Structure 1
């Protein structure tokens, strides 16, 4: 097992991704894409009011989840299990589905405005939703009941994230604040409020000790989760930050900006390590591969790029989309990439 793990750690170092297939997924533009843990299936949300489940290997549509009355904007598998799907809609509801049969288990009703983000907790017992009604809510997966409404923000809740233990949730808002909540009680633990503009993304690192926040104020901040203390402000971008993430080890932070660059920082020393230049438009999404050797960026210049984390070299430009790429992701093994674009297609790269 140790030998296999060592092989997996290094096997992707020289892997070159090739375009495999393009899927015209929906009648109207896509809103989001997401893999299950293994990468055997992925889901797409759309303005056509549906979510579709796809087989990655064949590119065939397995299920169409329909009954929302407006845009399906946010979607998620309950990874690592992958047997349930949550969909959040502009119709103010969230729905819970069986990923195998397409049966709708529950419709979560209670928000008074559009749902724009959602996530499962790691144990797959709760769903958190964030809304333009300035609140987040926690829902019981088994019963479909609302457990608590989280009310501290004064503007839209744009992002929600559980820690890996599942006992805390963070919410980021257009009110410039990040809030840490106790789960499932909904008690407010800390309010993180050093940013000067809207929050675009928040995330815990793997051991739940750090939080990263990206903001429209051109900065990224690292916070100590236990105390709520701001440990560092990561600067260098000239425009708004649209995304930020940790690698799986929690040692690196990557940022994506409207200035067309991505940057990589040390989460331990807070030092700037790399500036990745090459895109001709804003970068809206950034993610590490599971081996923490590559960084994937998605841009409004119609391309995605793959970068070497050690050198900052652009290893590949993934071309073919005819409009802005708004989403990109690796599967769990790191050997498949999916990109989603405003050209209404998904492209798979192996």
Structure 2
């Protein structure tokens, strides 16, 4: 499958149950495409939404794929209905600097990370920030949630990995500085042991 977006894509996410992919573009647009995994046919554009004034850096399906959540360098976070393309809610000035990453935590919480190393946790029901962590000195490159222990892992351009404890509302651990930027994090269970890569 190949989609010619004609503009730079900062992020993409696959729908949890349907053959739909969402892309966040440098222009601030979000585009959703339906694709057929069994054929070589061109994906069909479903929705094209001018979601943000500046580039759309993050896109994530939430609410079982009924909503696409996006974040931008304009510091806003937008929830858009996947079927209609209509805005559900927008949080302007969600962060003090550009929002770089988004992830789902639970059915009712998501997390965002910005260019200044701040990680926030949002309650999607009340549309409010319920945790904020000054975890890093540079941009948040990736996050991963460990649901059993309620820990949120974050990686950053400053070369560190953080462990944010959502129960205690504090940065629990932070790694030594690496010489290189840490750009992603994944948690894997191998032989009953948790590994963080």
Measured against the shorter chain, the TM-score band is: 0.7 to 0.9
Deviation at 1:183, TM superposition (A): 2.0
Alpha-carbon distance between aligned partners in 2 of 1:152 and 1:246, rounded to the nearest angstrom:
26
Aligned to 1:289, what secondary structure does the other structure show? Answer: strand
Say if 1:288 and 1:294, in contact at 8 Å, map to a contact too. yes
Deviation at 1:225, TM superposition (A): 1.5
1:120 is the counterpart of 2:14: yes
Which has the greater radius of gyration?
A: 1
TM-score, structure 1 length as denominator?
0.49
Relative to structure 1, the CA distance from residue 128 to residue 251 in structure 2 (aligned partners, 3 Å threshold; closer, same or farther) is same
Deviation at 1:217, TM superposition (A): 2.2
Aligned to 1:277, what secondary structure does the other structure show? Answer: coil
User: Cα deviation per residue 1:233-259 (whole Å; 9 max; x = unaligned)?
Assistant: 111322332222223558221111222
Relative to structure 1, the CA distance from residue 115 to residue 240 in structure 2 (aligned partners, 3 Å threshold; closer, same or farther) is closer
Aligned equivalent of 2:156? 257
User: Cα deviation per residue 1:171-208 (whole Å; 9 max; x = unaligned)?
Assistant: 12122222122222222122233212222210112x32
Relative to structure 1, the CA distance from residue 157 to residue 268 in structure 2 (aligned partners, 3 Å threshold; closer, same or farther) is same
Aligned equivalent of 2:102? 202
Relative to structure 1, the CA distance from residue 183 to residue 269 in structure 2 (aligned partners, 3 Å threshold; closer, same or farther) is farther
Say if 1:115 and 1:130, in contact at 8 Å, map to a contact too. yes
Which residues of 2 match residues 176-255 of structure 1 at below 5 A?
176-192=75-91, 193-205=93-105, 207-247=106-146, 249=148, 251-255=150-154
Alpha-carbon distance between aligned partners in 2 of 1:177 and 1:292, rounded to the nearest angstrom:
38
Say if 1:195 and 1:217, in contact at 8 Å, map to a contact too. no
Runs of 4 or more above 3 Å deviation:
none
Say if 2:163 and 2:173, in contact at 8 Å, map to a contact too. yes
TM-score, structure 2 length as denominator?
0.83
Say if 1:249 and 1:292, in contact at 8 Å, map to a contact too. no
Q: Which runs of 5+ in 2 are unaligned?
A: 37-41
CA RMSD of aligned residues (A): 2.4
Aligned to 1:286, what secondary structure does the other structure show? Answer: coil
Structure possessing the higher relative contact order (Cα contacts under 8 Å, 6 or more residues apart): 1
Aligned equivalent of 2:68? 169
Alpha-carbon distance between aligned partners in 2 of 1:188 and 1:288, rounded to the nearest angstrom:
33
Relative to structure 1, the CA distance from residue 190 to residue 217 in structure 2 (aligned partners, 3 Å threshold; closer, same or farther) is farther
